Structure 1
């Protein structure tokens, strides 16, 4: 089950992002920032577009995660204003793990909690909240 972290920030100017060629959704700038901020040993891939937003693959302590980002922005909005963001964390599980119900993603997952704390610690991120996605 993927989990999301919602927050508000004016840290990124989404009008300067690359165009999502699949769907006009913003979110790349958060992942580009994370790619530069995170330790290189985490193996954070450069962001790529998806129909629901932007994503990167992340290697976390021997496990692969997909992290995604979406910024709620529409043409005509001020791109430098405080925008609502959703950051998704989803742990990859093998077929066998899924079949046997092992290694399920939980709210206490160390990778998920790392990102939540990263956002909470920064004064540039507001209203940080962990949510469950269905």
Structure 2
């Protein structure tokens, strides 16, 4: 089960992003920003295009996660305006964990809370909430 953080920001010019070859959805710039910001602390893979946005993978506290980003932006929108974003965190679990209902992703997950705090601390990111 994934958990989602929603927020608004104008700090990324999504109109300059590489085109998503699967579906014209933006979000690459957030994952690239995170890779640079967290370099030396958390290794985040190169973002990959998805039909719902962009994703990367990482290890956090010895657990594997997929993170994803999607910006609500259409081509004729003003790229310098405040854009709504969805940032998702999905914890990978083994088949055994799934069958036994163990290690479920929750709103209190430490990786999710890490990213929420990171977004909360960035003054250019507003209205951060877990939904």
Please state if 1:20 is matched with 2:4. no
The number of aligned residues is 131
Whole-angstrom distance in 2 between the partners of 1:41 and 1:124: 22
Question: 1:69-105 CA deviation, whole Å, 9 max, x = no partner?
Answer: 0000011100111000000000000000000100001
5 Å-filtered alignment, 1:1-134, equals: 1-131=1-131
Whole-angstrom distance in 1 between the partners of 2:59 and 2:39: 11
> Where does the alignment leave 5 or more consecutive residues of structure 2 unmatched?
none
Whole-angstrom distance in 2 between the partners of 1:75 and 1:41: 34
Whole-angstrom distance in 2 between the partners of 1:114 and 1:41: 12
Deviation at 1:43, TM superposition (A): 2.0
* TM-score calculated relative to the size of structure 1: 0.95
- Cα-Cα RMSD: 0.8
Whole-angstrom distance in 2 between the partners of 1:11 and 1:41: 22
> Where does the alignment leave 5 or more consecutive residues of structure 1 unmatched?
none
Q: Secondary structure at the match of 2:25?
A: coil
